[in-house]
Every structure is written in C-alpha cells, then in structure tokens.
Amino acid sequence: MAHCNLLVAIAAVVLFLAVGTEASGGIGFNLHHRFSPVVRQWMEARGHAPGSSWLLPGDAPKGSREYYSALLRHDRAVFARRRGLANADGQSTLTFADGNATRLDTYEYLHYAEVEVGTPSSKFLVALDTGSDLFWLPCECKVCAKTGNTTTGLPYSPSQSSTSKTVPCGHPLCERPDACGAVGTGNSSSCPYEVKYVSVNTGSSGVLVQDVLHLVDGGGKAVQAPIVFGCGQVQTGHFLRGAADGGLMGLGMDKVSVPSALASSGLVASDSFSMCFSRDGVGRINFGDAGSPDQAETPFIAAGSLQHPYYNISVGAITVDSKAMAVEFTAIVDSGTSFTYLNDPAYTLLTTNFNSRVSEARDTYGSGYEKFEYCYRLSPGQTSMRRLPAMSLTTKGGAVFPMTWPIIPVLASTNGGPYHPIGYCLGVIKNRISSTDDATIGQNFMTGLKVVFDRRRSVLGWEKFDCYKDAKMQDGGSPDTSLGSPAGDDSTPGSPNGDYVPYVPLPWENNATDGPYYPGGVPLTWPARSGSGSSSRASFGVLLSLILLHVLVVISVAW
Ligand SMILES: *[C@@H]1O[C@H](CO)[C@@H](O)[C@H](O)[C@H]1NC(C)=O
Ligand SMILES: *[C@@H]1O[C@H](CO)[C@@H](O)[C@H](O)[C@H]1NC(C)=O
Ligand SMILES: *[C@@H]1O[C@H](CO)[C@@H](O)[C@H](O)[C@H]1NC(C)=O
Ligand SMILES: *[C@@H]1O[C@H](CO)[C@@H](O)[C@H](O)[C@H]1NC(C)=O
Ligand SMILES: *[C@@H]1O[C@H](CO)[C@@H](O)[C@H](O)[C@H]1NC(C)=O
C-alpha cells in the first residue's frame, strides 16, 4: 500500500514537471500596460504629449497620485462602456453620476500588444479589448488617426503583403452579406465590415482581409497564423483622438475573434486563452492555453440574453487569514480594469477584516487616492509592509481564488526629490457609480496568477504563476510578507513566501525604463529592489522538486 502511495506521489511530481514544460508551449504576445515604456514610445512617436491621457505628466511614476488618477478614470470609462453594452442600444452617451462625461474623452484601453502582420511583416501596437470581437488595423486609410511623422505605425497595406488575401462576401466570417451588393457584385467581392463601439460615433469600417499574424510560442519559435481581420479604412470618434491608434484586437467570444480563429484553425489546442500578470505589471497572453489539470476552476455564469457576454463568476465566501465569511455575489473578471470593485456587504467584510489585521496606522492621501478607503502609513525608514493578511475568494464549486497582491503602494516626492514609498492602500473600491454595477475583479486581484479564460468549457481557471518564467509556482499557501523588496530579513530561507515574484527585467523589453517603476500595471517594485537574492530563491522551487523527484525514484527503486 505504501508502495502504491509512493507511485502516486511520483506520478504527481512527474505530472507537475510535465505541466511545467507544457505551460510554456502557448503562443501569444507580451502584454504592455498603457503606461509602460513600450506604449509610451509608440504614443510619443504619434505626437501624444506628456500629460495627455496617454502619457503621465513628466516624471510621475506608478504609485504617484497622477498614476492612480489616470487609472481610476480609465476604470470609470470601462464601467460606462459596460453599462452601455448592457443597455444594448449601442448609442448610449457616457454619463456619470459623479463627474463630467467630457473628461472621458478617450476610449481607453489598459493593455496593448505589439503584433506583426503580413509578408514582409509590419508592426502594430494594438489595444486589447475583451468587450469586442473583431481585430482591425488602420489600413488603406480614408480616415485614420494621425500617425505622426515616423515610420512606426504606418497603416497596413494589403497590396504590400504577399500573403494578403481578400475575404469575399461568401466567406463564412462575412457577417454582412446584405451589404455586399452595395459595395461590389455578389459573393466574390470583398466583404465589408463596420463595428460600432458603445461610445457615440466611435467605430471602424472597411473590408475584411486575410493575412498571416506572426506569433511566438513559449519556446521562442515563430508561428504564422492565417487570420481574418478588418482593413480599417474609416475610423470615427475616439479612434481618431488617440484611442487604439494602431488598431484593436477583440478577445470576445465570437467566432471572428483571434482566440476563436486560432482554435478553429487548429493552430492551438483549445478555444481558450490565459493572461498572466506579475507584480510589476509584466504580462503575457497565451492563446490556446487551457491551463493545467490541477488548476483551480469555477464555471462562468451563462450570459443569458445579453448581447455581449462577460466573464462572470459566482463567489460564495471571503476569507481573511483563517476567518471565512459567507457572502454571495457575482463578479466580472476583467483584466481591462485596474482595480477591484465590490458592493456591500462583500466590500465591508473584506475591508474591515483586512483593516483589523494590519499593523500600520491608517492614513488618507487625498487626490488620486480618494477612492481607496483603506490606506496606511509607513513609519520613517520603513520600506516594507509588516504583514499582508492572507485573503481569498471562495468561488462557486469551492475553488479558492487567492489575492496574492491586492495592495497598491503610495509614492510621494518631497520638494521635487525622488519618489519614495510612504504608505499603501488596499486596491479595493466600493462601487459607488451605481449600486447596480457588477462587482469587478480587476487586474490587481490577478497579480501573481495565471488566469485561464476557457471558452470551450466555459470555466475560469487560475494558478499561482511566475510570468517571467512562464512557469507555475510552488504554492506554499502562504501570503507575501513584504510590501516591496524583501532584500532584508524576510528573504532568509524558510520564510513563508513561496509566491514571491522576483523583479527581473525581461530580455525582450528595451532599456527605455523610467526607473524601477517599469513597466506599469499594478505597481510594486520599490526603488531599492535587489535582483540577485531573488533569482536564487526563485530557482529554489525547481531545484527542490528535482531533488524530491530524485529521492522518490531512489526510494521506489529500493522498494
Ligand atoms: C516631426 O518632425 C519634426 C521636424 O522634423 C520634429 O520636430 C517633430 O518632433 C517630429 N514629431 C514627431 C512626433 O516625431
Ligand atoms: C465639469 O467640467 C466643467 C468645465 O470643464 C467644470 O467647470 C466643472 O467643475 C466640472 N464638474 C465636475 C463635477 O467635475
Ligand atoms: C451569395 O451567397 C449566399 C449564401 O452563400 C447566397 O444565398 C446568395 O444567393 C449568393 N449571392 C450571389 C449573388 O451569388
Ligand atoms: C452576471 O451574472 C449575474 C447573475 O446571473 C447577473 O445578474 C449579472 O447581470 C451578470 N453580469 C453581466 C455583466 O453579465
Ligand atoms: C540594455 O542595456 C544593457 C546595458 O546597459 C545592454 O547590455 C543591453 O544590450 C541593452 N539592451 C537593449 C535591448 O538595448
């Protein structure tokens, strides 16, 4: 019997290792946060000035009030968009109970990807949008956003690409055969498209084309996928004013979306994609990734009659340290929202229990931070939060969704000096725009996890993940104990932070960083981060499992 158990244990370890390599097999893109240097370079090349909604003013780093103000504005726009879609009239105006509709003059996106299309290939910086389906690029422009006077971001040109093909009206993805007659003559002419987004008069239209999309798999191997997308000849509304200058990639459920197209072409194993976010905002989207067999999972709530389904899940309890509190609510899992938004009673249960378990003194930081009710002050000289309570949501079916890094740092500069951490807030906001707004699990709750959107099985999956290594992390079950660089005492061996994500710049990122706050997203990296200690500890887990495997094999041979 003991022998049998050992074999099971060996199988489990072998499976774990196999899953580790399989996980790096996904094909996809690196995600760039809108305030990352990569996006900044594209935007500057297009003539967007620092201080515009695309670029933070001057030297404001992540963690500063300007940074949070911009992200909160962005989240409000997302909520407005979602309400507009729920109304399904497609023509709603953006209005807010608590502010000026006119302040939201851009249709903002949180994440971008650099994509290469065609032969020879051209590069585009596309906005990623889970709320729509079509992928389109500025192309054969009649009306496009200005591109600045650089060579980056020239429109896509079908005639310049040897792999470009027309998509005729008879094509299965042509959804407007009715409009074909007006454009050409019957089923062999190019299929026209027109997408309208919620915001007034914002849209893109043109003809569908097919060309190759260049992707890279986890091992760095190039993959070329034939994809149908919109040759966007006419953009309107916000798309002329900076939103999605370089095109937009819809990640929705429809068969025309890139994840669906990759799955139906057989290039990826499953109609599924994963998103991984590390603490400094570095991310990765992998198409076809359905996660690992032992990931935690919960079903999506069926969308019913809603025209645009969201990734909606049920929660049954909130746990703070060992205290589990039953509370039922549904929440939308949206990587395009920066923070997490809850309604009462969930909001109060989570925040008050968090509050009673942290040892720093409560503080308020005013403008930029005012939406965050639970903020705390670091003592002079203190650079680490003393203790982060272990918090999680128990989803329908019982799977536990851990919040590995729900807090946001507060940075300030004294007399124009360098920004430094002075405190932190819990990155959870009470829904105030409207009490009927859905609770939203934003990017900050996905930090340290790989979240799998399995559309085929209609489940959300997740596991603790190291996005830098594209590898699963050992789950020690313990929360982080540090607020920033645990270069000091708490990096001693045996400290319970197996889910610690090291700060290591990615080799494929360029050097245009604006300090240690690079590259945007959910803030984390404090100025004095030490990279060397962390990398040795990060490899410890792999080493440990290899030793464990070895020991188990030896024991089993002895048996
Ligand atoms: C465009 O070119 C002008 C003159 O060559 C230059 O001053 C300006 O900075 C350029 N703008 C961009 C966005 O590159
Ligand atoms: C709305 O905008 C106007 C003009 O820009 C400004 O005077 C007013 O204070 C703003 N209101 C709010 C609530 O922000
Ligand atoms: C175009 O194709 C549709 C369906 O494939 C068919 O019903 C229609 O008659 C065709 N029109 C022409 C002009 O061939
Ligand atoms: C999420 O599911 C709940 C429960 O069915 C529903 O009331 C809510 O409207 C859904 N939200 C969205 C945006 O689909
Ligand atoms: C980044 O800078 C380092 C040293 O400053 C240099 O070795 C490296 O090649 C640079 N990487 C890129 C992508 O420019």
The helix (H) or strand (E) run that includes residue 37 is: helix 37-45
The verdict on the CB of residue 511 being under 6 Å from ligand 5 is yes
For ligand 5, atom 2, the nearest C-alpha belongs to 511
Q: Is residue 219's pLDDT more than 50? A: yes
Domain 296-472 in CATH 2.40.70.10? The answer is: yes
Same fold yes or no, 94-287 and 296-472: yes
Q: Is residue 322's pLDDT more than 80? A: yes
Best mutation site among 96, 100, 370 for ligand 2 pocket (most ligand atoms within 8 Å of CB):
100
Domain ranges, ordered by start, for the chain = 33-44+58-87, 94-287, 296-472
Q: pLDDT at position 324, please?
A: 93
| pLDDT one-digit tens code per residue, 274-312 | 998 876 666 888 899 999 898 999 999 887 655 567 888
Does 363 participate in catalysis according to the annotation? Answer: no
Q: pLDDT at position 280, please?
A: 65
User: In angstroms, what is the span from residue 100 Cα to ligand 2's centroid?
Assistant: 6
Residue type at 409?
A: P
User: In angstroms, what is the span from residue 188 Cα to ligand 3's centroid?
Assistant: 9
Among 32-36, 99-103, 287-291, the range of highest mean pLDDT:
287-291
The verdict on the CB of residue 510 being under 6 Å from ligand 5 is yes
Structural contact between residues 421 and 410, judged by C-beta atoms closer than 8 angstroms: yes
User: In angstroms, what is the span from residue 229 Cα to ligand 3's centroid?
Assistant: 22
For ligand 3, atom 2, the nearest C-alpha belongs to 170
Catalytic one among 75, 334, 454, 499? 334
328 to 331, 347, 387, 394: CA distances (angstroms): 10, 12, 27, 10
The verdict on the CB of residue 187 being under 6 Å from ligand 2 is no
Of the chain, the percentage scoring pLDDT greater than 90 comes to 21
Ligand 1 atom at minimum distance from 44 CA: 13
User: What is the Cα–Cα distance from 98 to 432, expressed in whole angstroms?
Assistant: 9
Q: Backbone phi, then psi, for 251, in 5-degree steps?
A: -110, 20
Structural contact between residues 80 and 197, judged by C-beta atoms closer than 8 angstroms: no
Q: pLDDT at position 30, please?
A: 83
Task: Determine which of 106-120, 216-230, 486-500 has the lowest per-residue pLDDT on average.
Answer: 486-500
* CATH T-level topology, domain 94-287: Cathepsin D, subunit A; domain 1 (2.40.70)
Ligand 3 atom at minimum distance from 186 CA: 13
For ligand 5, atom 5, the nearest C-alpha belongs to 511
Largest Cα separation within the chain, whole Å, is 78
Does 514 participate in catalysis according to the annotation? Answer: no
User: What is the Cα–Cα distance from 481 to 6, expressed in whole angstroms?
Assistant: 34
For ligand 1, atom 3, the nearest C-alpha belongs to 149
Rg of the chain in Å (alpha carbons)? 24
Ligand 5 atom at minimum distance from 510 CA: 13
Confidence of residue 109 (pLDDT cuts 50, 70, 90): confident
Q: pLDDT at position 133, please?
A: 84
Q: Of 392 and 23, which is predicted with more confidence?
A: 392
Q: Which ligand is nearest to the CA of 168?
A: 3
464-498 burial: b if 16+ Cβ within 10 Å, else e? bbbbbbbbbbeeeeebbbbbbbbbeebbeeebebb
Q: pLDDT at position 87, please?
A: 43
Q: pLDDT at position 313, please?
A: 93
Task: Determine which of 111-115, 128-132, 248-252, 421-425 has the lowest per-residue pLDDT on average.
Answer: 128-132
Q: CB under 6 Å to ligand 1: residues?
A: 45, 47, 148-150
Q: Is residue 543's pLDDT more than 60? A: no
Q: Of 445 and 1, which is predicted with more confidence?
A: 445
The verdict on the CB of residue 187 being under 6 Å from ligand 3 is yes
User: In angstroms, what is the span from residue 321 Cα to ligand 1's centroid?
Assistant: 55
Q: pLDDT at position 461, please?
A: 96
The verdict on the CB of residue 99 being under 6 Å from ligand 2 is yes
Pairing between strand 419-426 and 375-377? Answer: antiparallel
| pLDDT one-digit tens code per residue, 367-404 | 888 889 999 998 887 766 777 888 999 999 999 999 88
User: In angstroms, what is the span from residue 62 Cα to ligand 2's centroid?
Assistant: 26
Catalytic one among 129, 133, 438, 466? 129
- CA atoms lying within 13 Å on the CB side of residue 111: 29
Ligand 2 atom at minimum distance from 99 CA: 13
User: In angstroms, what is the span from residue 347 Cα to ligand 4's centroid?
Assistant: 18
**Average confidence (pLDDT) over 508-521:** 29
**Average confidence (pLDDT) over 340-362:** 93
Q: Which ligand is nearest to the CA of 96?
A: 2
Q: Of 414 and 60, which is predicted with more confidence?
A: 414
The verdict on the CB of residue 186 being under 6 Å from ligand 3 is yes
| pLDDT one-digit tens code per residue, 118-145 | 999 888 889 888 777 889 999 988 888 7
Tokens 């990060």 belong to 538
User: In angstroms, what is the span from residue 186 Cα to ligand 3's centroid?
Assistant: 7
The verdict on the CB of residue 100 being under 6 Å from ligand 2 is yes
Q: CB under 6 Å to ligand 4: residues?
A: 301, 303, 306, 310, 312, 330, 332, 438
Q: pLDDT at position 57, please?
A: 64
204-237 burial: b if 16+ Cβ within 10 Å, else e? bbbbbbbbbbbbebbeeeebebebbbbbbbbbbb
User: In angstroms, what is the span from residue 330 Cα to ligand 4's centroid?
Assistant: 7
Among 349-363, 383-397, 490-504, the range of highest mean pLDDT:
349-363
The verdict on the CB of residue 507 being under 6 Å from ligand 5 is no
Q: pLDDT at position 187, please?
A: 57
Q: Is residue 264's pLDDT more than 80? A: yes
Closest to 162 (Cα-Cα) out of 118, 124, 223, 227:
118
For ligand 4, atom 5, the nearest C-alpha belongs to 301
User: What is the Cα–Cα distance from 394 to 400, expressed in whole angstroms?
Assistant: 5
Q: pLDDT at position 499, please?
A: 30
**Average confidence (pLDDT) over 320-344:** 91
For ligand 5, atom 9, the nearest C-alpha belongs to 511
User: In angstroms, what is the span from residue 149 Cα to ligand 1's centroid?
Assistant: 6
